[in-house]
Amino acid sequence: MTAAGLSAAPTREARNHHADVTSGFLLVLVISLNLFGLVMVLSASSVAGIQEDKSASWYFSRQVIWVGAGAVVFIVTASVRYHFWERLARPAYYITYALLIAVFLVGLEGGGSTRWLAIGPLRMQPSELAKLTLVLFIAKLLADREAHIGDRRRSLHPVIVWFVPLGLLVFSEPDLGTTIILGTIVLAVLFAAGVPMLPLMMVGGVGAAFGAMAALYEPYRRRRLLAFLDPWSDPSDTGWQTLQSGTGLANGGLGGLGLGESRVKWGYLPNSHTDFIYSIIGEELGLVGTMTVLILIAVFATLGFRTALHAPDLFGQLLAAGITAWFCIQAFVNIGGVVGLMPITGVTLPFVSFGGSSLIVTMAAAGILVNISREVGSRAALEES
């Protein structure tokens, strides 16, 4: 072996080791969050199951099925090279668009909105699929225009043209929370691609203004926004969830009341196993439990963005950045609503909350992120061999 070979070998081994460690930690985080979510869904949903004339484990048993299905999806997407999804980005966008239109034709209504499609005994929420589809499609679109990222007419403008129709369909369900998350994901991918900041800030400002107008235009959204600012102005109606969520967090203190000992889940806090599961975590496991969740999310973000920085090509970089930003943004919006720092939007806590469509799509995206991380080491080995 030559001197050059000796000097190159440690570098290659170090980069391979880095990729293996990152993908390994991502896998451990995904497993940990899913298992933790199962435990908390069992605890948070037991009372709701009984009150709905079901068993205490009814929601838990279904979450186990979804976790199993999500694990299969995760294994598949983690095993398939991420460039495979590059070829499917455009067809996936059209399929998602068609599914969102189908929601208005044959969708199921619930909670004042129409967001679900029934496929036999199963129900799916196309707006959840839209998150992954949008990341794939925008990453592909910008990667194909890599030489023209600085030209907003060939980077920013086409992204807006493709995003707006899909975003309007989700908004019309109505689902303002998911629409805001989709828009923020798009901005994150554009930022990661290197689109100039001034036009990006202008688009973000227009989007924020649209969101504010939409929130104030509809009476029920306006009441929810005002309740977020002052929940005590209507404590028995629009401010109820915010106040009860805060009560749950306050009850928990530092160490919590103990697993299964939540009080607010006894009919006081609606959606305690979905949108407000973080409040149950705080009540039963205290500040220790809530901080543990935040630390896990922070570690996931660090590993995800590190994967994006070292990805072999622009598509991989944007895909990893978009997936990581999506998880972080959704967790921030969910937790922000639970602790009263933001309006309640009805989005779930990734990997932890009860829900089939959300969990399976999230697991698919996590698998893709793991594959990109593994590809970092494989490409480094090929380049330096």
Return the percentage of the chain with pLDDT > 70, whole number. Answer: 92
The total of other beta-carbon atoms located within 10 Å of residue 69's CB is 14
Q: How confident is the model at residue 82 (pLDDT cuts 50, 70, 90)?
A: very high
pLDDT, tens only, 84-108: 999 999 999 999 999 999 999 999 8
d(CA 375, CA 212): 41
67 vs 220, higher pLDDT = 67
236 vs 383, higher pLDDT = 236
333 vs 16, higher pLDDT = 333
d(CA 243, CA 227): 10
Whether residue 43 contacts residue 271, with contact meaning beta carbons closer than 8 Å, is answered with no
- The domain in which residue 15 lies consists of 3-384
pLDDT, tens only, 231-276: 988 888 889 999 999 999 999 999 999 999 999 999 999 999 999 9
What is the pLDDT, as a whole number, of residue 301?
A: 97
Mean pLDDT for the chain overall:
90
Q: Position of tokens 């005994």?
A: 121
pLDDT, tens only, 328-343: 999 999 999 999 998 8
What is the pLDDT, as a whole number, of residue 1?
A: 36
Closest CA to 366 of 26, 36, 10: 26
The total of other beta-carbon atoms located within 10 Å of residue 72's CB is 12
d(CA 128, CA 361): 7
Q: Could you tell me whether strands 113-119 and 108-110 are parallel, antiparallel, or unpaired per DSSP bridges?
A: antiparallel
d(CA 336, CA 181): 13
Whole-prediction pTM value?
0.93
1 vs 254, higher pLDDT = 254
What is the pLDDT, as a whole number, of residue 17?
A: 58
Q: Is the pLDDT of residue 83 over 90?
A: yes
Q: Is the pLDDT of residue 128 over 80?
A: yes
Q: Which residues contact 307 (CB under 8 A, 6 or more apart)?
A: 22, 26, 320, 324, 369, 372, 373, 376
119 vs 48, higher pLDDT = 48
Instruction: Calculate mean pLDDT across residues 126-138.
Output: 97
271-294 CB burial, b ≥16 within 10 A, e <16 = bbbbbbbbbbbbbbbbeebbeebe
The total of other beta-carbon atoms located within 10 Å of residue 193's CB is 24
Q: Is the pLDDT of residue 72 over 90?
A: yes
How many domains are contained in the chain? 1
